[in-house]
Chain A
Amino acid sequence: MTATTGTASGTGRTGDPGTPAEPGTPAEPVTAAGPGPAAEHIDAAGAGAAPVLVRKEPPATAVLEREEKPAGSPDDPENLRIVPARHPWRWAAGVLALVVLAQFVHGLATNPGWDWPTFRAFFSTTTILRSVWITLQLTFYGTALGFLLGAGVAALRLSRSPILQTIGWAYIWAFRSIPLIVQLVFWFNLSYLYKRLGVGIPFGPTVWSFDTIGVLGAMGAAVLGLALHQAAYAAEIIRGGIIAVDGGQLEAASALGIPRFRQAWRIVLPQAMRGILPAAANEVISLFKGTSIVYVMAIGELFYQVQVIYGRTGRVVPLLMVATVWYILLTTLLSIGQYYVERYFARGAQRTPPPTPLQRARGFVRNIQATRRTPPAGRPAPSLGGRS
Chain B
Amino acid sequence: MTTTTSDAMVQVRGVHKRFGALEVLRGVDLVVPAGSVTVVLGPSGSGKSTLLRAINHLEKVDRGFVAIDGELIGYRRSGGKLHELKEREVLRQRTGIGFVFQNFNLFPHLTVLENIVEAPVSALRQPKAEARRAALALLARVGLSDKADAYPRQLSGGQQQRVAIARALALEPKVLLFDEPTSALDPELVGEVLDVIKDLARTGTTMIVVTHEIGFAREVADTVVFMDGGLVVEQGPPAAVLDDPQHERTRAFLSKVL
The chain A residues found within 8 Å of chain B, CB to CB, are: 246, 248-249, 251-260, 262, 266-267, 270-271, 345, 347-351
Contacts and interface: CB of A to CB of B under 8 A. Distances in A.
Given A347-B151, A348-B153, A351-B153, A257 B109 contact: no
Given A256-B118, A271-B108, 10 more contacts: A254-B58, A256-B94, A257-B91, A257-B93, A257-B123, A258-B122, A259-B122, A260-B87, A260-B88, A262-B122
A351 B155 CA distance: 9
A259 B108 contact: no
Give the most central of A249, A251, A258, A345: most B CB within 10 Å: A258
A254 B151 contact: no
Interface stretch (B66-74, B97-105, B199-207): B97-105
B237 to A, nearest CB: 30
Nearest to B164: A252
A203 B45 CA distance: 56
B157 to A, nearest CB: 14
B94 A257 contact: yes
A258 B109 CA distance: 16
B152 A348 contact: yes
Given A271-B108, A348-B108, A258 B91 contact: yes
Given A248-B101, A348-B151, A351-B154, A255 B123 contact: no
Contacts of B171: 256-257
B167 interface: yes
A251 B94 contact: no
B240 interface: no
A258 B118 contact: yes
A249 B58 contact: no
B107 interface: yes
Given A348-B109, A349-B153, A351-B154, A256 B101 contact: no
Interface string B151-173: 11110000000000001100100
B88 A259 contact: yes
A348 B155 CA distance: 11
Contacts of A267: 107, 118
Contact of A249 (B107, B153, B167): B107
A259 B97 CA distance: 15
B88 A254 contact: no
B211 interface: no
A256 B110 contact: no
18 contacts: A249-B105, A252-B107, A254-B58, A256-B95, A256-B123, A256-B168, A257-B95, A257-B119, A257-B124, A257-B171, A259-B88, A260-B91, A266-B118, A267-B107, A347-B151, A348-B109, A348-B110, A348-B152
B151 A258 contact: no
A95 to B, nearest CB: 44
A259 B123 contact: yes
Contacts of A259: 88, 91, 122-123
A348 B111 CA distance: 8
Given A258-B119, A258-B122, A248 B103 contact: yes
